[in-house]
Every structure is written in C-alpha cells, then in structure tokens.
Structure 1
Amino acid sequence: MYEVSGEAGRHRAETGHHWWVQVVRGACAILFGILAVVWPLITLLTLVVLFGAYAIISGAFALFGAFRGAHPRQSRLWLAISGVLGIVAGLIAWVWPGITALALLILIAAYAVVIGVAEIVAAVARRKAGDTDWTYLASGVLAVAFGILLFVWPASGALALTWLIGLFAVLYGATLLVQAYRLRETAHRGTAGPAPHAV
C-alpha cells in the first residue's frame, strides 16, 4: 500500500473532484462498444458516425479534464494533446462520409495508438509527481495494444473487426470507470488521505 502526501496528494485530491469527466468518457466508450457488438450488421456509415461521435465527445472531455484538473504540468500537456487528437479524428470521420472500410480501420488504429501513447506519457508524468495509480497507465497500454493489433490484422472479416473494436471500447471504457471511482475515493478522503492501492 502506498500513500501520496504533500504536493502529489494535493494534485490527486483536486483532480478527484473531476472524477465525473472520466465517467462520461468511460460511459461513451462502453456505449459505442456495446452498439458495435450487439449490432453485427452495422453499416460502415453508421460505424463512422458512432466512432466520430465517440472520439469528439471523449476528446472534448479529455481537454476539459486537462485544463480543469490539477494534474502535473507534463500530464496536462499530454492529456490536452490526447483530447485534441480525439476531436480531430472524430471530425475526419464525419467530414469524410465516403471513407472506405480500410481507411476507417487505419484511422481507428492510428487514433488508438496515438491516444494510448499520450496517456502512457501522462501516466509516467503523474508517477514522477508521486501518483501511484495504475489505471492511467493501464488505459494507455490497452489502447496502444489495440491499435497495433488493428494495424497487423487488417485483412480480418468485417464482422470480426466490428466485434474487436466493440470489445476494445468496452474494456477501455471500463478502465476509465475504474479510474473515475478511484478519483472519487481520493476526493472524498481529502488531500491527507492515502491514495488507492497500487498494483
């Protein structure tokens, strides 16, 4: 069990007040994933619209969390980059209605890798500031792994890819919800309380 005190504890407590931002991002990811899984005959256009909406909403709330949360400076920078890239990816999907399945696949894969790298860098910055929470790192690693999988497995059937995308979205969203729960606990304990258990 680790405890976070001093400046790092203040960062965690203040950031914890914005736990609901991660709830929104996680809920959107899970909703997108469930729709992709339970709607096996989803059309490409519908998938594009859903992905665009998810990326834009998630990006917008990531930006909000970066500028309103009390994250370490380097962490805020990378979270902001993550948010901007998410919005850009969503807009690209929306303004390119004739996108091909392969192009959409590459877009989603690139989005996952870049967002994942940004979250990993942000997690490292938080750890250097004394934060031992593992959920930031877990979500980043999951995103990078998913993006790489899409890049090296582009010839799969459309149904398998839709399920893969849906499964990733649900897992990623669940990680964000766990993150939100831990942040909420931190906010309730206050700056002097111990941080969540590190794994």
Structure 2
Amino acid sequence: MNIENLPLTQAIASNWWMLLLRGLFAIAFGLCAWFLPGVSLAVLIIMFGAFSLADGVVGIWMAFSGRQQNDHWWVLLLWAISSLLVGLCALFAPGVTAVVLLWLIAAWSIIVGVLQIAAAIRLRQELQGEWRLVLSGALGVLFGVALFAWPGAGILTLLWLIGAFAVLIGVLLVILAFKVRSFKVSA
C-alpha cells in the first residue's frame, strides 16, 4: 500500500506548513515560559491564551481544508475548537486564580491529548510515523493528569512544565511536518 496517495495523507501533505507553524508556535511559547520565569501570572495567562488561540485557529484551518478528502475531519475540528475555547477563556478572563488556570490547562491538555491519540489511530492506516502523534497525545494526557494530581506544586513549576510540554510537542509537530512535506501532492 502506497500511503503517499491516500486522501488524508494528501490533505496533510498539502498543508504541511500548518503543522510546521503549529510546532514553531509551541516551541516559541515553551522557550518564553523557560527564559522569562519572572513574568506575572497575568502574562502567563495571556501567553497561554495566545498559544491556545493560535493552535485552535491553525487546527480549524487544517480540519476544514481536509474535509473533502477525509470523513474524520471533525476529530481535528474538535481538537481545534477545544484549543480555541480555552484560549478565549484565558484571554477574556485574565483574573483567574493560579489553581483555576492549572485546572484549565490540565483539562485542555487531557482533551487535546485524547483527540490526538484518536487522530493517530485513524492515521495509522495512512501515515507511517503516526506514533509521534500518539506520543504527543499520551504526553498531553499524562501532563494533564499530573497537574490535577499535584495542584500545589506552584506556578513556577507549572511554568517550567508547560514550557517543557510545549517545546516537546512543538518538536514532534515540526518533525511530522517535514515528514509529510516529502509526500508528493497529486493535482
């Protein structure tokens, strides 16, 4: 079976740069979280909100651009909408407490992780290396569970964990983007 000619692979390959953009946004967000630890909670909320909003907008673009070729485009759409809603909540309610922010991030991480795993299961028939998306999803779920389990760890620790999570997810998405870029898109 030549996976490069399957519809979902073609849809992703034609928008490989969107995966790259998502990965670069995640890496930039993670590096800011690491190297600017003295930022206030309000700035952290705005950074997270902007990251989630960008992730949601890019995800919606990917979902709708691939809907003609893929019956399961709605999984990508749910993933994107959850990111978009969390981003909007963070940006329009910046006065939330650190604990509420922690719960918001934890829930978002679990939801997106589960949806990434679901997308990878669907992609396993069409794309080699889907394990990267499974790994990304599993790390998201574990990250969310860890935040719910240890809410008193402190905002600085949360900031470092968010940074590590974002950089790792970003690197995996960049690798995946260059992998699917190599597929030829048929006209």
Establish whether TM, by shorter chain, passes 0.5: yes
- The 5 A counterparts of 1:165-176 are 165-176=162-173
How far has the Cα of 1:131 moved from its partner?
2.9
Q: Give per-residue Cα distances to partners, 1:57-102, cap 9 Å, x unaligned.
A: 111101111111366322x111100111111000101111210000
Partner of 2:105: 108
Identity across matched positions, percent:
35
Could you tell me whether the CA contact under 8 Å between 1:59 and 1:84 is conserved in 2? yes
Partner of 2:8: 11
Partner of 2:119: 122
In structure 1, the gaps of 5 or more residues are 192-199
In structure 2, the gaps of 5 or more residues are none
1:91–1:131 distance in 2 versus 1, CA, 3 Å: same
Equivalent-residue separation in structure 1 for 2:120 and 2:70 (angstroms): 10
1:133 has 2:113 as partner: no
How far has the Cα of 1:162 moved from its partner?
0.9
1:12–1:86 distance in 2 versus 1, CA, 3 Å: same
1:180–1:5 distance in 2 versus 1, CA, 3 Å: closer
Could you tell me whether the CA contact under 8 Å between 1:72 and 1:126 is conserved in 2? no
Partner of 1:194: none
How far has the Cα of 1:103 moved from its partner?
0.4
Equivalent-residue separation in structure 2 for 1:183 and 1:138 (angstroms): 17
Cα root mean square deviation, aligned: 1.8
| Deviation >6 Å, runs of 4+ | none
1:4–1:138 distance in 2 versus 1, CA, 3 Å: farther
Q: TM-score, normalised by structure 2?
A: 0.91
Q: Give per-residue Cα distances to partners, 1:147-176, cap 9 Å, x unaligned.
A: 111111211122221111111111011111
The one-letter code of the counterpart of 1:166 is G
- The 5 A counterparts of 1:51-66 are 51-66=48-63
Q: TM-score, normalised by structure 1?
A: 0.86
Give aligned pairs, total: 184
The one-letter code of the counterpart of 1:55 is S
> Given the alignment, which residue of 16, 20, 42 partners 2:17?
20
